[in-house]
Amino acid sequence: MLNQDLLQQLIKTSSEPKLIEKAFEIANDAHKGQKRFSGEDYIQHPLRVAQTLNEFKLDPKTIAAGILHDVPEDTSVSLKEVEKNFGKEIAFLVDGVSKLGKLRYPKTGLEIPSIKKEPQKSIDLKVENLRKLFFAMSEDLRVVLIKLADRLDNMKTLNFVPKEKQKRIALETLEIFAPLANRLGMGEMKGTLEDMAFPYLYPEEFKWLIENVKERYEEREKYLKMVQPILIKILKEEGITSINVHQRAKHYWSLYQKLLEHDMDFEKNYDLIALRIIVDDVETCYKTLGIIHKHWKPFLGRIKDYIALPKPNGYQSLHTTVFCIDGKITEFQIRTSKMHTEAEEGICAHWARKEEIAFKTQRRKFAWVQQLRNWQKEVSGTKEFLKGLKFDFFKNRIFVFTPKGDVIDLPEGASSVDFAYVVHSEIGDKCAGAKVNGKMVPLSQPLKNGDMVEIIVGKSKKPSQKWLEFTKTNLARSNIKKWLKKESMTSH
């Protein structure tokens, strides 16, 4: 789409068209003569970023900041001039995005981690910029949403970028931006970013997957097209008439990760393509699940209720895998339209529903952002900050439960002591033992997805130096160190 077409679309759909027009005029003038690697006028990029933010149904100030996001960094127009023309709020957003723009992997000595292992953050990022990242996030999550829209457009044009830069940008995308989207509940953005980075980082593996999956996707699509009308007929006969059923294909990167877990055996991946059922309300979700199980035998251990127990990023849905027509193992996902929008768009869905929610109140839902911000104030050395960041933010997450059924989000490999400190620092300090799924376990035992954890508190119990050998979260480690330091000072 050309400049004017994009601009007219943004103006037409905005509640503050004059603001959008003014932002474009200043950005267009500032970027005049600048070109992208693709040869197109630079202004096309910020306009596409603004278009993505518009699709997220974000407010006019965020969209204006999207148009202006590269102005102070790449042109002679300063941040002070942006503030003079647009006020403090837009200037704050633009400044936040500029700071995040400095968050880059080094140009030299870049090593692409083995695909068979979880990508390691071995590269020494500029830690101060990471601090700015979390500060900007916890102050106003719109900064991150602009940056994600910016990265999405940059990935779409990555083929024009010099080869030596491609790998760095792709690795940042896979290791920083995709996990960010995931933690904000933006499932579609996460999957898209991962899939875009995949061929640049692991071209051979990507090529192999595409060659091997094409036929299986087609075969699965054909089978589910046959299942779809039969399913709709069964549901209608049971009185469920307001339904939307469609296919959901697994993202390539996610599929490859699953294949690695299952010795590259496609037959063990039952959700290559799933049928997604969207109904009116929560009651109908459970009724639909019951009907499916009445007609087709469920696969034990593969029924997940994320409605009663949502993931910490807000994801809600019922998942079940059944022995469907001809005994073929098939996955169904059942949710309401509101849940579906939130699963795809995450935090953006709140504004899509036109609710008057103050942006800063979103911090309550995404409490991990605030925890990171609080913690980064405490740690003294930048090495400790980076080490904690590697574990707590980028590592794969597990979801465990308190005896009351609350969901606790932890990094993979976390122990009951990590769990205890997340619940409350006093419970961590007095942690005497732990029951996992009703059985006593060593405090050092790593927790697994879905575990129910109960902490046994001892009044005279104290943190132990040994805990530092197996705790994974910065929260636990900083509390243990604080207590041990206090203890050593009082004993002298």
In tens, the pLDDT along 176-223 reads: 888 888 888 888 899 999 999 999 999 999 999 898 888 888 888 899
All CATH 1.10.3210.10 domain ranges in the chain, comma separated: 3-184
All CATH 3.30.460.10 domain ranges in the chain, comma separated: 204-345
Name the band, by pLDDT with cuts 50, 70 and 90, for residue 4.
confident
Beta bridge partners of 431: 457
Position 109 scores a pLDDT of 56
Beta bridge partners of 449: none
Position 82 scores a pLDDT of 94
- 315 burial class (0-12, 13-18, 19+ CB within 10 angstroms)? middle
Mean pLDDT of 39-65: 92
Position 3 scores a pLDDT of 66
Position 69 scores a pLDDT of 95
Q: Per the structure block, which two tokens stand in for 156?
A: 């779409």
In tens, the pLDDT along 406-461 reads: 778 888 899 999 999 988 889 999 999 999 999 999 999 999 887 899 999 998 88
Position 66 scores a pLDDT of 96
All CATH 3.10.20.30 domain ranges in the chain, comma separated: 396-491
Least confident of 34-43, 80-89, 116-125, 467-476: 116-125
The CATH superfamily label for domain 396-491 reads Beta-grasp domain (3.10.20.30)
Highest mean pLDDT among 90-104, 355-369, 371-385: 90-104
Given a cut of 90, whether residue 401 has pLDDT beyond it is: no
Share the mean pLDDT of the chain. 84
CA distance linking residue 297 with residue 111, whole number of Å: 47
| DSSP line for 50-75 | HHHHHHTT--HHHHHHHHHTTHHHHS
Contacts of 58 (CB under 8 A, 6+ apart): 142, 145, 348, 351
- Classify 282 as helix, strand or coil: helix
Least confident of 132-141, 307-316, 445-454: 132-141
CB atoms inside a 10 Å sphere around CB 100 = 26
The CATH superfamily label for domain 204-345 reads Beta Polymerase, domain 2 (3.30.460.10)
In tens, the pLDDT along 285-294 reads: 999 999 999 9
Closest by alpha carbon to 430, among 463, 407, 394?
A: 463
Position 138 scores a pLDDT of 66
Given a cut of 90, whether residue 301 has pLDDT beyond it is: no
| DSSP line for 457-470 | E-TT----GGGGGT
Position 416 scores a pLDDT of 96
Position 120 scores a pLDDT of 43
Position 355 scores a pLDDT of 42
Least confident of 170-174, 282-286, 394-398, 437-441: 394-398
Q: Per the structure block, which two tokens stand in for 387?
A: 């080490």
Mean pLDDT of 255-279: 81
State which fold the 3-184 domain adopts: Hypothetical protein af1432 (1.10.3210)
CA distance linking residue 104 with residue 125, whole number of Å: 7
Name the band, by pLDDT with cuts 50, 70 and 90, for residue 487.
confident
Mean pLDDT of 46-66: 92
CA distance linking residue 234 with residue 253, whole number of Å: 34
Rounded to a whole number of angstroms, the distance between the first and last alpha carbons of the chain is 72
Name the residues annotated as catalytic: 73-74
Least confident of 221-225, 228-232, 265-269: 265-269
